[in-house]
Amino acid sequence: MTLLSVRDLEVRHGLLRAVRGVSFEIAKGETVAFVGANGAGKTTLLRSIAGAHLPVGGSIAFAGADVTHVPAYLRVRSGIALVPEGRRLFADLSVTENLLLGRAARSRGPWTFDTVMDALPQLRPIHNSLAKNLSGGQQQAVAIGRALMTNPSLLLLDEISLGLSPVAVDGVYAAIRKLIAMGTTIVLVEQNLDRAVAVADRLICMLEGSVVLQGRSGGLERARITEAYFGLAASASPAGAHV
């Protein structure tokens, strides 16, 4: 069952075409990783799906409904949650308070304060701590937990390993594997190829706003991914081509 369908999406930053004619579909329960160098358009794409940056062309359908021009807060209510790059926590609020803000957006579903704590047990001993006093890895766990509290059907994770220590990244990806095992549909933006390949069902590589390579994670040769990632080979699959 297709949960998310993006067709010919065009997104601009002023005159800059940040996303150029991107099309793809994501099935319910699937994990898809978008990879590419800085400036490839990955974050802009995720923000467009979440409603934080409206496109100038193309369409976005979620659970069978056209949400292309639907405001971000209504997309959250419909089941789309974004964990943004940089986490964007409320620094002077506690872990618990940050999580409860997520519940206020959309409360129906299996994710409650207790189930989030079960999924992210590293948060339980620090639930009264202020967000500003947490490590980067702890803050990232709070950001994921806050998104889960909205009870999303689709979880968008943007650059979740950025700026974290290897140990912290291990902890964050352990949580992601747990969510995947629970059937959560995830779209992941990641610059670390090894991490992306390890958890994703499919990999989509972007370059200068366009899709240049995509396929099953286990079926793509590392050399082809690297070439597409850096734009080193004109022989990489054309936009939208399946490998």
The encoded tokens of residue 93 equal 């609020």
Q: Is the pLDDT of residue 235 over 50?
A: no
In whole angstroms, how far apart are CA 182 and each of 88, 143, 171? 26, 19, 17
Q: Which residues of 123-133 are buried (b: 16+ CB within 10 A; e: fewer)?
A: beebeeebbee
Q: Is the pLDDT of residue 146 over 90?
A: yes
Q: Which domains does the chain have, with CATH numbers?
A: 2-230 (3.40.50.300)
How far apart are the C-alpha atoms of 6 and 24, rounded to whole Å?
Answer: 5
Q: Is the pLDDT of residue 24 over 60?
A: yes
Residue 240's pLDDT is: 40
Tracing tokens 């959250």 back to the chain, one arrives at 76
Residue 132's pLDDT is: 93
Residue 160's pLDDT is: 85
In sequence order, what E strands does 46-162 have? 57-62, 65-66, 80-83, 154-158
Express each pLDDT in 173-190 by its tens digit: 988 998 999 899 999 998
Q: Is the pLDDT of residue 233 over 50?
A: yes
Q: Average pLDDT of 220-243? A: 64
Residue 107's pLDDT is: 65
Residue 232's pLDDT is: 72
Q: Average pLDDT of 182-203? A: 91
Q: Average pLDDT of 199-216? A: 94
* Residues above pLDDT 70, as percent of the chain: 95
Q: Is the pLDDT of residue 83 over 60?
A: yes
Sheet with 154-158: list strands edge to edge.
Answer: 80-83, 154-158, 185-189, 31-35, 202-207, 210-216
Of 93, 183, 98, which is closest to residue 147 (Cα–Cα)? Answer: 98
Q: Average pLDDT of 50-68? A: 96
How far apart are the C-alpha atoms of 104 and 205, rounded to whole Å?
Answer: 35
Beta-carbon count within 10 A of 176 CB: 21
Sheet with 16-27: list strands edge to edge.
Answer: 16-27, 2-13, 57-62, 65-66
Q: Is the pLDDT of residue 127 over 70?
A: yes
Q: What letter would DSSP give residue 126?
A: G
Q: Is the pLDDT of residue 234 over 60?
A: no
Q: Is the pLDDT of residue 63 over 60?
A: yes
How far apart are the C-alpha atoms of 162 and 219, rounded to whole Å?
Answer: 26
- Give 109 or 56, the one with higher predicted confidence: 56
Q: Is the pLDDT of residue 130 over 70?
A: yes
- Give 234 or 218, the one with higher predicted confidence: 218
Residue 70's pLDDT is: 95
Mean pLDDT of the chain: 89
Counting Cα atoms < 13 Å in the Cβ hemisphere of 211 gives 23
